Amino acid sequence: MAIKNVHDSWKKQGFTLLEIMVSIGIVAVVGVLISQVFFTTTRSNAKSEVLKNVKQNGDFSLERIYQLVRNATEVTSTCAEGGTSSSSITLTNPDGESTSLGCLLDGTVTRIASVSASTTEYLTDSALTLGGADCNASSLTFVCTMPAGQPATVAIIFSLAQKGTPPDQFDRASASFQTTAAIRNAKQ
């Protein structure tokens, strides 16, 4: 008889349909929360990588332009005492050669470039753009000021953004850059 009671009590220890449904519901909610956290983390990591690329390219371009202006002997494009704004600038290097800095259209991407006698050096990555389909003063601006009796100073202003438009505007990685450089090797 003792064996029969153990066998009968074992049959009654199963789960009810309601208990199974509640546990499945809890597992489903936890699964959805975990997947949302995973996708949010992945998305923010991807944006961080693109933003890092934008910052590195912008910093490199800004530093390169700054060095070219600092080492130039003169600004050969228009430069006035009150300041002249344009989307490109031409400098005379210490070796006497001219270098033009500005925005160039590379296929469908607007990029910052340094153009010398025989070479074109792009200062930004092809995965980034100055914005827009064409080069204009709102993409890249050089403000050249030449105070009386002093070397020219050039303000460099531009914004870089990732190429293309992401579906969510909050995912768009962009950054603005600005600095001012004075010509150090001005002709006397």
Domain boundaries, the chain: 27-182
CB 117 within 8 A of CB 98: yes
Report how far residue 116's alpha carbon sits from residue 118's, in angstroms, rounded to the nearest whole number: 6
pLDDT at 25: 94
Helix (H, G, I), strand (E, B) or coil at 28: helix
Report how far residue 8's alpha carbon sits from residue 169's, in angstroms, rounded to the nearest whole number: 64
pLDDT tens string, the chain, 188 residues long: the values are 455 555 555 556 777 888 889 999 999 999 999 988 888 887 777 778 888 888 999 999 999 999 999 999 888 887 777 888 888 899 988 888 999 998 888 887 888 889 988 888 988 888 888 876 667 667 788 999 888 888 889 999 998 888 776 656 566 778 889 999 988 877 75
pTM of the model: 0.73
pLDDT at 2: 54
pLDDT at 155: 92
pLDDT at 28: 94
Report the amino acid identity of residue 53.
N
pLDDT at 180: 92
CB 139 within 8 A of CB 110: yes
Closest CA to 125 of 66, 50, 68, 183: 50
For the chain, the first-to-last Cα distance in angstroms comes to 118
Q: How many CB atoms lie within 10 A of CB 129?
A: 23
Report the amino acid identity of residue 153.
T
Integer angstrom CA distances of residue 60 from 90, 123, 144, 172 = 19, 7, 21, 20
Closest CA to 53 of 160, 156, 140: 160
pLDDT at 56: 92
Report how far residue 174's alpha carbon sits from residue 158's, in angstroms, rounded to the nearest whole number: 11
Helix (H, G, I), strand (E, B) or coil at 184: coil
